[in-house]
Amino acid sequence: MRFKRQAEKTVRVVSILVTVLTLIWLAYFFSESLISCLLLVWKHTAERVDIPVLGSAEDGLLVWGSLGIAIMTVCGMRKRLKAVFRGKSGKWYAVLILPLLVVATVTYAANWGASYGILYRSGGNLGLYYDQIFSYVGWGVLSGLSLFAVGLYVFGMDRIYMEQKKAEQCHAQIAVYQMLEEQYRQSERLRHDLKNHVVALSGLWEDQEWEKLGVYLKKMENSAGLGAYEEATGSRVVDVLLYQKRKTAEAKGIVWECDVRIPKPCGISEFDLCVLFGNILDNAVEACEKSGGREAEQKGRPYIHVRAGTVKKCFLLEAANSTAVADRSKGGHAETEYIQERGIGLLNVGDVVERYDGAMHTEIQEEVFTISVLIPLEGAAHDMKRVV
């Protein structure tokens, strides 16, 4: 297991290095070709040189200038690249690296050929000046297309990975929903047999068989999930889900406050309600766990506050939770960091909100993450942009 983790770490580092170096490599060739072409045109038109040639000093400046432009270009993409490489598996990195190595090898071979004079030749019809221009243009087009292909591949791989994760989480939520439905059916069967259970319990009571009585009551509680209906939100699925999340939060030492009322008719399917509450609360629990360090000891226990109800013919769901991410709202970095860490769940929430023509808002202030979801109820027509 230790060897496997080390191997995955090595593949990850190599993949990141190959990606960054390939992007720099291609951006360097593209900028060098473009600048060289512009310099030759300038010499020919402005300085009236019939057959302009770049000197050694100009070549040196061109190399370092192009390299600087390439490095600055890739550095400008560092936040996006950081998001791409966060949280991926070793297999994903291995799949990513192979095409990049091919592109890097092909461009290196093309550059090697160009350095040995394998350039565009017109057979003397156009002259050395135009031969150079067309050579630089051709090399620039090749490196530019390669750069575009690499960027498209890297970010496309990230998009595919995110879509796969969303699908996997959706399947998991379907399983949870089915489990909640089964639990509800078991409770309904228990209520149907309640008269028989009362007779049995009365018999155990009269015979003073306390141990059997306790076992019987415990079995009834487990088979029906009686505690799951303590929330009483108006939706059986949300009741059970909130009960489970509350138990999870309390087991982790997280303060739980909940006030949820599901309107009737709501217009939101119980499965989508499960997606909304499940993803938001899973993210909240995870964030609270990470905030339970020394700062939590100074500021108090981490907490989750969730409330939902009807506001102006809309369903409003708001949740606030502690987070270890500091407030850096000037540049929006705190919120971006939080969303990147829990992007899959929030993407699923966003999909549900979009499906019902709703609106979602997130913010971080004073190490508290807040998410608000507003969805119009059935028969209500709202311009959500104006409402929000």
pLDDT in single tens digits along all 388 residues of the chain: 566 667 777 778 888 888 888 888 888 888 888 888 888 888 888 878 777 777 777 778 888 888 898 889 888 888 788 778 876 777 788 788 888 888 878 877 777 766 655 555 555 566 777 777 777 888 888 888 888 888 888 888 888 877 777 776 666 667 666 666 666 666 666 565 666 666 677 777 777 778 877 777 777 666 655 444 455 788 877 887 888 888 889 888 999 999 999 888 788 888 888 888 888 998 888 888 877 644 444 457 889 999 999 988 899 999 999 887 665 444 445 445 555 555 567 888 888 898 899 999 988 888 888 999 999 986 655 554 444 4
The arrangement of strands across the sheet holding 314-322 comes to 255-260, 303-311, 314-322, 368-376, 359-365
Rounded distance between C-alpha atoms, residue 265 and residue 268, angstroms:
9
- CB burial readout 351-382, b (16+ within 10 A) else e: ebbeebebbbeebbeebbbebebbbbbeeeeb
A 10 A CB-CB count for 111 gives: 17
pLDDT of residue 263: 87
Rounded distance between C-alpha atoms, residue 311 and residue 289, angstroms:
31
Rounded distance between C-alpha atoms, residue 136 and residue 106, angstroms:
17
In angstroms, the Cα distances linking 358 to 71, 113, 277 are 41, 57, 15
CA atoms within 13 A on the CB side of 332: 5
The single-letter code of the amino acid at 142 is: L
Is the link from the previous residue into 265 a cis peptide, with omega within 30 of 0? Answer: yes
Angle, alpha carbons 165-170-175 (nearest 5°): 125
Range 228-387 has CATH code 3.30.565.10: yes
> Residue 291, SS3?
coil
DSSP 257-282: EEEE---SS--S-HHHHHHHHHHHHH
pLDDT of residue 123: 56
- Spans of all domains in the chain: 2-170, 228-387
pLDDT of residue 296: 45
pLDDT of residue 340: 52
> Residue 315, SS3?
strand
- CB burial readout 284-311, b (16+ within 10 A) else e: bbbbbbebbeeebeeeeebbbbbebbee
Are the CB atoms for 329 and 319 separated by under 8 Å?
no
Own/partner long-range contacts of 297-301 (Cβ < 8 Å, ≥24 apart): 299/367, 301/253, 301/254, 301/255
